[in-house]
Amino acid sequence: MKKKAGKVFSIAAVLLFLLFAPASPGHSWELYVSSPWLSTIARFIGGVNVSVKAIQEWNEEGTSIRKIRSRNIPDSSRIVVLDAFEAKSLGLDGKRFTSIFMLYGTVPFDRARADYHFSDPSVLPFIAQRVLTAMSQYDPGNYSYYQRRLSEFQTRLDSTVLVGRQLLKDYPVFDLSGGFTSLLSAAGCTLLPGDEKVKMWSRGEDLQNLQAAVADAIKVRIPVIVDPSTPKPVREALKGNKDVLFLGRPGQEQDLLLFFHDQFLLLWNRLAPLRQHRQQEGKEKS
């Protein structure tokens, strides 16, 4: 186990080195983006060349709220949004803002589940690629820089998922999150209790069964997780339960991939009682 932990944290050290390694110098220009999730990707791809401003932010309850009103955005601003629907919902009129870049004609995923998709290692590289395209259109002279940043993003994402798999593969997790399911699946976790039960509880049905199932999971040392996207009936039913692990969202200036890495470590630490129990069982059998 010590050897495994040493290997895992060696990989973590490499990730930190990549994070703080100096980037290529360049001029800084301003870019507005529609959402806090999109800002985390844009800040990574843009590096030192781009000053990113998110039009929306998360409040204390985890809901996206308006941070910058359209009237406070200069007409000539460079703006990246997911699609035309999102631009309209934010009051970003294409006749006034002529430098809007839409990543999609119509966003190909359920925008109500943005947390899920922006935490999905199979989706993130494609979003990052489109952000690269936008930045290269605005700043074609630095295309090679943004391309290198995209390559680093992909490399670090792969390494982060690898760390997650080494820490969490085959461990059970009672997943009531709305946004981390894709990330936990990529890490190889065994996810409980199943979609049908979660959907039922999300509608506010049979919440006594939810509380009993959570208590049973905790009793056998299986971590129970929720996040800001967990449906309100579920969050309310578990409010005040200190045994439930709450996974948040990345901070405004936090590195997205380091944030994912930190969530893996939080879960690894929460799994300590289960690991110890399994080790003790192994000793008793041998």
184-185-188-193 Cα dihedral, nearest 10 degrees: 80
For residues 107 and 165, what is the distance between their CA atoms, to the nearest angstrom? 30
Task: Give the pLDDT of the chain (286 residues) as one tens digit per residue.
Answer: 545 555 555 555 444 444 444 344 446 899 999 999 999 999 999 999 999 999 999 887 778 899 999 999 999 999 999 999 999 999 999 999 999 999 999 999 998 899 999 999 999 999 999 999 999 999 999 999 999 999 999 999 999 999 999 999 999 999 999 999 999 999 999 999 988 999 999 999 999 999 999 999 999 999 999 999 999 999 999 999 999 999 999 988 899 999 999 999 999 999 999 999 888 877 777 6
Cα separation, 196 vs 99, whole angstroms: 44
Go through the chain and tell me how many residues it has: 286
Please, are residues 170 and 188 in contact by the beta-carbon 8 Å criterion?
yes
Domain 164-285 sits in CATH at 3.40.50
CATH 3.40.50.1980 location in the chain: 23-163
What is the per-residue pLDDT for 6?
55
How crowded is residue 102: how many other Cβ atoms within 10 Å of its Cβ?
A: 20
Question: In terms of CATH, what superfamily is 23-163?
Answer: Nitrogenase molybdenum iron protein domain (3.40.50.1980)
- Residue 244 to residue 266: CA distance in whole angstroms: 12
pLDDT at residue 152, as a whole number: 98
* pTM, entire model: 0.86
Spatial contact of 38 and 80, defined as CB atoms under 8 Å apart = yes
Which pLDDT score is estimated for 17? 46
* Number of other residues whose CB lies within 10 A of the CB of residue 262: 15
Q: Is the peptide bond before 108 cis (omega within 30 degrees of 0)?
A: no
Tell me the C-alpha to C-alpha distance, in Å, between residue 148 and each of 143, 144, 145, 215. 9, 6, 5, 48
Q: How far is CA 41 from the centre of its chain?
A: 10
CB-CB contact of 277 with 181 (8 Å): no
Q: Which of 230, 112, 233 is nearest to 177 (CA)?
A: 230
State residue 16's pLDDT score.
47
User: What is the model's pLDDT at position 12?
Assistant: 53
- pLDDT for position 285: 76
